[in-house]
């Protein structure tokens, strides 16, 4: 590596302390807007920088990468999911891609657990009823939800976030079932008392609550297809804090409207920031604006993690959070 500090282009406003630490080490140009960088600005950025520090919402596809200048060697994503980056195309051009896993897992799992509690217990409906002046006093038959304790939770993707969800779920008295590309090691399975289902279909037909915690990849696009959603029993709930396109959102909305599913808690959507109109109207659905990792602590840790990746790269080492396309 040359003695010159690396030229890092930051595609979006990050917390001040993160930007400050980056600027202390590198020559940083910030887009400085809290919106995804528009495609023409991204095209200019990839032509001139050594490192593109990007976020979810920036579209880093093959077309964009075909414009990359010879200096671009690292795309350091601020965030765990890299479904907005064509990692294969980057690798083919010798560009390394990194993300910021683990640091946000606990906060994301808190949000999944909050939704697992909020939907069956009708938390948001209760708040709205009270705010609308519909609370006329305690009633033996009003606002009845469903007990969470004793239910079967089916986790799709028992990685860092999925395991953190499982630990919380155990404490709330749920039994843990999971489907994963590969069975996880026995020691973790035993600790979580988790039952592995090689067949997602079989797991879906037996669980009461589904938590989606796998990354979005071509293999997980519409993993919860209409056919698979129909395997769930009609009192089942779905929680998704991962990516909207893992579920066939239209099918989910139809099934909730037709009362063929009991409800859903969704932090992510297929066409963010747009939200399916049918889901917006459904009372038994809790919708959040993609905020599962939105804590000050996670954002700073994500920034530090991104910085470590860039620094390791700048020092001529392999960054710790390299994405290996074959592992996606
Ligand atoms: C991620 O990290 O991919 C989240 O969705 C945003 O923090």
Q: Could you read off the pLDDT of 109-132 as tens digits, one per residue?
A: 999 999 999 999 999 999 999 999
Does the pLDDT of residue 95 top 90, yes or no?
yes
The arithmetic mean of pLDDT across residues 178-202, rounded, is: 97
Atom of ligand 1 at shortest distance to CA of 81? 3
- Say what the pLDDT of residue 328 is: 80
Contacts of 306 (CB under 8 A, 6+ apart): 18, 53, 76, 77, 78, 98, 100
- Say what the pLDDT of residue 4 is: 79
CB atoms within 10 A of CB 230: 13
Looking at every residue in the chain, the average pLDDT score rounds to: 96
CB atoms within 10 A of CB 56: 19
290 is catalytic: yes
Q: Can you give the C-alpha Rg of the chain in angstroms?
A: 21
Strand 7-10's sheet: what is its strand order?
27-30, 7-10, 51-55, 74-78, 96-98
Q: Please tell me the distance between residue 141's alpha carbon and the centre of ligand 1 in angstroms.
A: 40
All domains in the chain, ordered by first residue: 7-103+296-327 (3.40.50.720), 105-287 (3.40.50.720)
Q: Confidence class of residue 326 from pLDDT cuts 50, 70 and 90?
A: confident
Q: Is the CB of 55 under 6 A from ligand 1?
A: no
The arithmetic mean of pLDDT across residues 4-22, rounded, is: 94
Residues 243, 249, 299, 305: which is the catalytic one? 243
187 is catalytic: no
Atom of ligand 1 at shortest distance to CA of 99? 2
CB atoms within 10 A of CB 182: 8
CA neighbours within 13 Å on the CB side: how many for 111? 25
Q: Confidence class of residue 213 from pLDDT cuts 50, 70 and 90?
A: very high
- Alpha carbons 155 and 133: distance in angstroms, whole number: 37
Q: Please tell me the distance between residue 289's alpha carbon and the centre of ligand 1 in angstroms.
A: 12
Q: Confidence class of residue 43 from pLDDT cuts 50, 70 and 90?
A: very high
Query: Phi-psi bin for 133: left (phi > 0), alpha (psi -120 to 50), beta?
Result: left
The arithmetic mean of pLDDT across residues 189-215, rounded, is: 98
Quick one: DSSP state of residue 185? P
Q: Confidence class of residue 164 from pLDDT cuts 50, 70 and 90?
A: very high
- Say what the pLDDT of residue 9 is: 97
Preceding omega of 273 cis (within 30 degrees of 0): yes
The arithmetic mean of pLDDT across residues 200-204, rounded, is: 98
Does the pLDDT of residue 265 top 90, yes or no?
yes
Q: Please tell me the distance between residue 293's alpha carbon and the centre of ligand 1 in angstroms.
A: 6
Q: Could you read off the pLDDT of 135-157 as tens digits, one per residue?
A: 999 999 999 999 999 999 999 99
Residues 167, 183, 226, 290: which is the catalytic one? 290
- In 3D space, the residue among 234, 291, 296 whose CA is nearest the CA of residue 259 turns out to be 234
Atom of ligand 1 at shortest distance to CA of 241? 5
Question: What percent of the chain is modeled with pLDDT above 70?
Answer: 99
Q: Please tell me the distance between residue 13's alpha carbon and the centre of ligand 1 in angstroms.
A: 15
Q: Please tell me the distance between residue 150's alpha carbon and the centre of ligand 1 in angstroms.
A: 30
Q: Confidence class of residue 3 from pLDDT cuts 50, 70 and 90?
A: low
* pTM of the predicted structure, to 2 decimals: 0.95
Does the pLDDT of residue 293 top 80, yes or no?
yes
272 is catalytic: yes
Q: Is the CB of 57 under 6 A from ligand 1?
A: no
* CA-nearest residue, atom 3 of ligand 1: 81
Q: Is the CB of 80 under 6 A from ligand 1?
A: yes
The arithmetic mean of pLDDT across residues 283-292, rounded, is: 98
**The token pair that represents 83 in the structure block:** 């479904």
């Amino acid at each position: 590596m040359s003695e010159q500090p690396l030229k890092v282009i930051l595609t979006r406003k990050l917390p001040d302390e993160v930007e400050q630490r980056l600027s202390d080490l590198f020559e940083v140009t910030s887009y400085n807007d809290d919106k995804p960088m528009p495609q023409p600005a991204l095209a200019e950025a990839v032509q001139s920088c050594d490192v593109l520090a990007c976020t979810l919402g920036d579209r880093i596809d093959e077309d964009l990468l075909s414009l990359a200048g010879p200096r671009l060697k690292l795309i350091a994503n601020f965030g765990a999911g890299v479904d907005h980056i064509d990692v294969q195309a980057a690798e083919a051009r010798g560009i390394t891609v990194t993300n910021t896993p683990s640091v946000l897992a606990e906060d994301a799992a808190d949000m999944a657990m909050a939704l697992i509690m909020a939907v069956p217990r009708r938390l948001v409906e209760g708040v709205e009823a009270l705010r609308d002046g519909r609370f006329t006093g305690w009633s033996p038959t009003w606002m009845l939800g469903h007990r969470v304790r004793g239910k079967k939770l089916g986790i799709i993707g028992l990685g860092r976030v999925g395991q953190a969800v499982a630990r919380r779920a155990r404490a709330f008295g749920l039994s843990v079932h999971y489907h994963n590309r590969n069975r996880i090691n026995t020691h973790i399975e035993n600790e979580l008392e988790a039952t592995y289902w090689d067949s997602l279909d079989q797991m879906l037909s037996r669980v009461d609550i589904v938590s989606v915690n796998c990354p979005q990849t071509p293999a997980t696009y519409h993993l919860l297809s209409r056919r698979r959603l129909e395997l769930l029993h009609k009192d089942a709930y779905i929680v998704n804090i991962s990516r909207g396109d893992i579920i066939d959102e239209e099918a989910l909305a139809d099934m909730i409207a037709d009362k063929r599913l009991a409800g859903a808690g969704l932090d992510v959507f297929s066409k963010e920031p747009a939200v399916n109109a049918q889901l917006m109207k459904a009372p038994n659905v809790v919708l959040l604006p993609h905020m599962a990792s939105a804590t000050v602590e996670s954002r700073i840790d994500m920034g530090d993690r991104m910085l470590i990746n860039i620094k390791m790269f700048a020092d001529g080492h392999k960054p710790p959070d390299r994405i290996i396309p074959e592992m996606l």
